[in-house]
Chain A
Amino acid sequence: EPEVTQTPSHQVTQMGQEVILRCVPISNHLYFYWYRQILGQKVEFLVSFYNNEISEKSEIFDDQFSVERPDGSNFTLKIRSTKLEDSAMYFCASGRDRMNTEAFFGQGTRLTVV
């Protein structure tokens, strides 16, 4: 069964460092998403991406964040200068289209900023 794959499963980084989280969405999906879940809090939407551009983003997704689909398979989330409060589980998701279908989530990357 096709699945969304995220790497690494756990990343530890020093405050101020850049980090790139990687995702391989399901191959025939066209819509891609990043969510995050700070420990003990709700899962929060960050950004959606379609046709090589951001289609929507939340208030959380500030200038420190960027997304990219560098090739036909990967979808990345970059945090330019990590802060302690960026520590969270980051989920990638993909969907076949925007309407009437669900998003499939990856297993997540746990980011720890020290």
Chain B
Amino acid sequence: AQSVTQPDIHITVSEGASLELRCNYSYGATPYLFWYVQSPGQGLQLLLKYFSGDTLVQGIKGFEAEFKRSQSSFNLRKPSVHWSDAAEYFCAVGKGNAGNMLTFGGGTRLMVKP
């Protein structure tokens, strides 16, 4: 069965600092990988996705993620964090034959210090 692990439950960074959120997955074939963001009281907004091709994917709001098959990882990065990035971030993996049926990680709550 597929699974997703986000090792960091909480992360605090200073505004303007760089950010990396970790995501490791377990899946028997080429995964469909996603990062979603959830602001308080809001739904899930897609930041970026990886289906195939270039392993470095660009997303919205200045985020990027890199798929590393050898490490079963899909870490999310941003070079300079803004206070508005404070939210919960979810990594998810989709089944190869049904890309939209997602298994989510536990989430990482990002706090941004002024």
B interface residues, how many (CB within 8 angstroms): 22
Complex interface: chain B residues within 8 A of A98 (CB) = 97-100
Interface centre among A35, A48, A99, A104 (most CB of B within 10 A): A99
Interface string of A57-75 (1 = CB under 8 A from B): 0000000000000000000
CA distance A94 to B74 in the complex (A): 24
The yes or no answer to A19 lying at the interface (CB within 8 A) is: no
B: residues with CB less than 8 A from A are 34, 36, 42-46, 49, 51, 90, 92, 97-107
Q: A42-B107, A103-B100, A104-B46 are in contact. List 12 more A-B contacts (CB 8 A).
A: A41-B106, A42-B105, A56-B98, A95-B99, A95-B100, A98-B100, A99-B98, A100-B51, A101-B99, A102-B46, A102-B100, A105-B36
A: residues with CB less than 8 A from B are 4, 31, 33, 35, 41-45, 48, 55-56, 91, 93, 95, 98-108
